[in-house]
Amino acid sequence: MGVPNLDCGPMRAEEFFAFTATRPDDEKWELIEGEPVLNGTASRLHQKIVGNIFFALTELSRGKDAEWEVIPGFGVRLSEISVPVPDLLIRPDDDLKGVECNDMIIAFEVLSPSTANKDLRWKRKAYATLPSLRQYVVIAQDALEVVSFDRANVFAERRFETAESELDLPIIGARISLRDIYRGTGLL
């Protein structure tokens, strides 16, 4: 039989999707510069914040008959070797098929101790390469703090740190209060 030859180059997107199709649905994999990365299980607080944002945005989209949709845990193909998965994304509402998109307009990441450095450094830079992206929002789960990077401001940082603050999402004509983002977390 012998020893098979292994391709030691970076994993490509199609190989990654074939691989993740064999994995359980509850595993969250990302392809980061050719390396498949399994993310740890999210904490209750992390999931509570993601749920609060998802609920608020879903309600806003229904009330406006919006032309955008909010999707949790969906892959974004940035290149043939990078398919990160933001906690939530907003993209045009159409008949997208498959397990990935390349047209997100807003990305949301809730920081976890194990992913904070990657989310603040690599993902911020990588998402900025996607022409459709207009805003990248990072949410702390251990403090009342939201940071928004907006393309209109050359991805300059804006911070929101009080319960009365409102995160504005101008590309979709929406605002979400930090009170709504952190509802039920014990941080208010």
State the Cα–Cα distance between residues 121 and 31, nearest whole angstrom: 16
Confidence class for position 5, pLDDT limits 50, 70, 90: low
pLDDT, one tens digit per residue, over 24-83 is 988 899 999 999 999 888 899 999 999 999 999 999 998 778 899 999 989 999 999 999
Q: Where are the domains of the chain?
A: 42-181
C-beta separation of 167 from 148 below 8 A = yes
Residue 156 confidence (pLDDT): 87
End-to-end, the C-alpha distance of the chain in Å comes to 63
pLDDT, one tens digit per residue, over 74-133 is 999 999 999 999 999 999 998 888 889 999 999 999 998 877 888 888 999 999 999 999
Torsion angles phi and psi, residue 56, rounded to 5: -60, -45
Confidence class for position 7, pLDDT limits 50, 70, 90: low
Say which residue, 4 or 50, is predicted with more confidence: 50
Confidence class for position 4, pLDDT limits 50, 70, 90: low
State the Cα–Cα distance between residues 56 and 131, nearest whole angstrom: 26
Question: Domain spanning 42-181: which CATH class is it, in words?
Answer: alpha beta
- Residue 167: which H helix or E strand, with range? strand 166-169
CA distances for 168 relative to 14, 16, 30, 159, 175, angstroms: 36, 35, 28, 11, 4
pLDDT, one tens digit per residue, over 133-183 is 999 999 999 999 999 999 988 888 999 999 999 999 999 999 999 999 999
Residue 95's contacts (CB-CB under 8 Å, 6 or more residues apart) are: none
| pLDDT of 8 above 80 | no
What are the residues facing 56 on neighbouring strands? none
Residue 77's contacts (CB-CB under 8 Å, 6 or more residues apart) are: 13, 83, 100, 101, 102
